[in-house]
Structure 1
Amino acid sequence: MPTTEHVNSTAENSDTSNTVSRRRLLGSAAATVVASASLSVASRSVAADTDEIAELDFRDGVPDVADAPQAEAEVVFKIHGYTSSSASVERAATFRETASAVGYDEPVTAVTWDDSSLPTSAIQSARDTGDLFATWLADYTDANPSTTIRILGHSMGGIVQMETLAAIDGDFTVATVDSIGSFEASDAPCEDGAFFDAIQASADAVHNYYSTNDGVARLGSGPADCGSWFSDGTTPDNYDDIDVSDSVSDHSAYREETGCVSAIVNNY
């Protein structure tokens, strides 16, 4: 399982083929400032019932396979965003409660990573966690070969999600790998982006649930930006951008809005 190939994906995403996307040109200069100012805003949701939410805590290494639900038909692994590690289980519980309200009752597990540093360091931590999570998933799928794996990353959790796919590197496939309000680069899924091959090789389906009302996200503020000043690009056949702007009013609203969560589980 590769552990170092994608640690410099931030640079790859920003300099690919010497082209500069229109959306990145407008947004990249302010991205880190916006992240530090906005990603720490508390969720609007009330405290969720965290009973029965398992947690995989990667802050001190790779957790035990037994820390997640075993022998389930499927499991959703929910990855939190920046400055939310202390509320990781609660964030997962909020998604589970909204999913249950729209008819989806499969287990949800919280994936916790070290987001304690300033934004630039936290982004690197998110990328490093992708390698660790991929290693853990390889062991988990060996122990639970019949379990359908679903990954959902919010904000910088979308970076963990993409790096996990890259580290899996086609050794196995995950059923769905989705992001909400992703802080990954807006060209990440594109043909000339850093994760085009990983998306094709390591997942059955990848979805970017975006809201144009989200003033914090990068990829998650609109569809993948594959157009440069000089040419247009494409995304993988198994990748889709899904507009949830009608139900998502801001960066913290995705997991508690039934319109957004219905769109997610309808693709399960």
Structure 2
Amino acid sequence: MLSMTDNDSPREADESTTPSRRTMLKGTGAAIVGTAGLAASSSSATAVSSWDIEVLEVGDSVFGIGSTPSIPVGDEVFVYVHGWFGDSTVSSQAADVATSMEDVGYEADEYVGIEWDATTINFPSAESETEDVGEELAEMVEEFYDDGGGNLRLIGHSLGGRIVLETVNHMDDDYEIETVAPLGAAADGDMVCEGSDGLFSDNWYDGIAANADEVRNYHSENDSTVGAAYGGFFGAALGNDGAGCPGDTADNYTDVDVTDSVSSHLGFLGDEAVGANLAEAAGVDVDDDDGWGWW
């Protein structure tokens, strides 16, 4: 059953020079994430094709050249952000997610894939890059609204889930994204909690509360990739367990448990239950007789 839960310190650095079990687990999970990113989901016939996705390159981390691209303006715009090693498959990944939403009646004026420099064997470097990409994407989102854009559905898988949360963290409080949706987010669960500022950056609580109409975090206990890489012994991995909050999450934050539907890290992409729930967040009247089960 798919269930939704409104929940009431980011990863701590190991100060010793001896590798901890948590560090080793993260390395193992990161390796799996890299391998998984090389392939796109192909769980259903594609109604939205890769050719329908306009790919925008964001955050050149090596040379910092080129201008910031613009999100095409429309009344309803779908934006997807890939994870580690997902550069070459961003179009097909985005098409799979969009198709799972269209299957229950969703339709966008524009379909966008955000491509960033994620092909590196250095996972910590890719993880660090997500903040810079999120900052640039925040500028693009603000420009989208300034130019008369309507509803924006911002969806990110794995490290892309970190990017969409970094995006709301870097936006001016005068802006609000309609839907922000991390899928199998590669992050610690307490990063969405009130009052748990990280060692190297603030958490995402304030950005979520100020700059999103609704955040839906999709997680599955079967996502052993992020489960191995994040959370530690007593914490929660955002894409595996959902928020792990000693305090509260923002009122507009919801954990969506898709364990019964999503069986792997890539399983979020094209999943029917995830797509139906995302479409419902976008205002589609989804028939609960189909058994999606979040009502």
User: Aligned equivalents of 1:28 and 1:246: distance in 2?
Assistant: 29
Q: 1:75 aligns with which of 59, 74, 77?
A: 77
* Equivalence for 1:221: 240
Structure 2 runs not aligned, ≥5 long: 1-8, 14-19, 61-65, 197-202, 227-236, 283-295
Q: 2:124 aligns with which of 114, 120, 127?
A: 120
The residue matched to 2:163 in structure 1 has which SS?
Answer: helix
User: Aligned equivalents of 1:28 and 1:13: distance in 2?
Assistant: 14
- Asked whether 1:31 is paired with 2:50, we answer no
The residue matched to 1:63 in structure 2 has which SS?
Answer: coil
The residue matched to 1:198 in structure 2 has which SS?
Answer: helix
Give, in angstroms, the shift of residue 54 of structure 1: 1.0
The residue matched to 2:106 in structure 1 has which SS?
Answer: coil
Report 1:1-268 matches (<5 A).
13-15=10-12, 29-41=24-36, 42-45=39-42, 49-60=49-60, 61-65=66-70, 68-70=71-73, 72-106=74-108, 107-117=110-120, 118-145=122-149, 147-193=150-196, 194-217=203-226, 218-226=237-245, 232-268=246-282
CA contact (8 A) 1:56 1:63 kept: no
Question: Against the structure 1 CA distance between its residues 191 and 28, is the aligned structure 2 distance closer, same or farther, given a 3 Å change threshold?
Answer: farther
User: Aligned equivalents of 2:204 and 2:23: distance in 1?
Assistant: 18
User: Aligned equivalents of 2:181 and 2:162: distance in 1?
Assistant: 11
User: Aligned equivalents of 1:138 and 1:92: distance in 2?
Assistant: 22
One-letter amino acid of the counterpart of residue 129, structure 2: S
User: Aligned equivalents of 1:263 and 1:149: distance in 2?
Assistant: 16
Question: Against the structure 1 CA distance between its residues 62 and 158, is the aligned structure 2 distance closer, same or farther, given a 3 Å change threshold?
Answer: farther
Give, in angstroms, the shift of residue 169 of structure 1: 4.0
User: Aligned equivalents of 1:101 and 1:62: distance in 2?
Assistant: 36
Question: Against the structure 1 CA distance between its residues 255 and 158, is the aligned structure 2 distance closer, same or farther, given a 3 Å change threshold?
Answer: same
Give, in angstroms, the shift of residue 33 of structure 1: 2.7
User: Aligned equivalents of 1:168 and 1:267: distance in 2?
Assistant: 21
Question: Against the structure 1 CA distance between its residues 170 and 252, is the aligned structure 2 distance closer, same or farther, given a 3 Å change threshold?
Answer: same
Question: Against the structure 1 CA distance between its residues 233 and 171, is the aligned structure 2 distance closer, same or farther, given a 3 Å change threshold?
Answer: same
The residue matched to 2:35 in structure 1 has which SS?
Answer: coil
Structure 1 runs not aligned, ≥5 long: 1-11, 17-24, 227-231
Give, in angstroms, the shift of residue 31 of structure 1: 1.8
% identical equivalent positions: 30
User: Aligned equivalents of 2:169 and 2:117: distance in 1?
Assistant: 19
Structure possessing the higher relative contact order (Cα contacts under 8 Å, 6 or more residues apart)? 2
One-letter amino acid of the counterpart of residue 87, structure 1: T
Question: Against the structure 1 CA distance between its residues 62 and 219, is the aligned structure 2 distance closer, same or farther, given a 3 Å change threshold?
Answer: farther
When normalised by structure 2's length, the TM-score is: 0.76
CA contact (8 A) 1:55 1:112 kept: yes
The residue matched to 1:188 in structure 2 has which SS?
Answer: helix
User: Aligned equivalents of 2:40 and 2:190: distance in 1?
Assistant: 27
The size of the alignment, in residue pairs, is 241
Residues 80-128 of structure 1: per-residue CA shift (max 9 Å, x gap): 1110011111111111222111211213210111102211010111111
Question: Against the structure 1 CA distance between its residues 222 and 28, is the aligned structure 2 distance closer, same or farther, given a 3 Å change threshold?
Answer: farther
Question: Against the structure 1 CA distance between its residues 82 and 13, is the aligned structure 2 distance closer, same or farther, given a 3 Å change threshold?
Answer: same
Give the aligned CA root-mean-square deviation in angstroms: 2.2
User: Aligned equivalents of 1:224 and 1:38: distance in 2?
Assistant: 20
CA contact (8 A) 1:40 1:84 kept: no
